[in-house]
Amino acid sequence: MKPIRLSLSGLQSYRELQTVDFDALCEAGVFGIFGPTGSGKSSILDAVTLALYGKVERAANGTQGIMNQSEKMLSVAFTFELSGPGEANRFRVERQFKRGGDVSVSSGVCRFIEMTPQGEAVLADKLADVNRCVEERIGLTMQDFTRAVVLPQGKFAEFLSLTGKERRQMLQRLFSLERFGDGLTSRLSHRVKASEGALAETAAEQQGLGDASQASLEAAASAQLEAAALAAKAREALAAAEAEYGELRQVRELLRERDAKAALLDAREADSPRIDAQERELRRLDAAERLQPALEAFDAAEREVAAASARSEEAGRFYAERQ
Domain ranges in the chain are 2-138, 213-259
Entry pTM: 0.49
Question: Which pLDDT value is given to residue 204?
Answer: 80
d(CA 111, CA 122): 7
- Provide the sign of the torsion angle of the four alpha carbons 260, 263, 268, 271, taken in this order: negative
Weakly modelled stretches of the chain, pLDDT under 50: none
pLDDT of 120 reads 92
The confidence score (pLDDT) of residue 172 equals 66
Count of CB atoms situated within 10 Å of the CB of 18: 16
CATH code that applies to domain 2-138: 3.40.50.300
pLDDT computed for residue 152 by the predictor: 56
Q: What is the pLDDT of residue 270?
A: 86
Q: Give the integer Cα–Cα distance in Å for 145 and 52.
A: 10
Residue 122 has what pLDDT?
A: 93
What pLDDT does 63 receive?
62
Buried b (16+ CB within 10 A) or exposed e, 151-182: ebeeeeeeeeeeeeeeeebbebbbeeeeeeee
Biggest CA-to-CA distance, the chain = 215
Say what the pLDDT of residue 309 is: 83
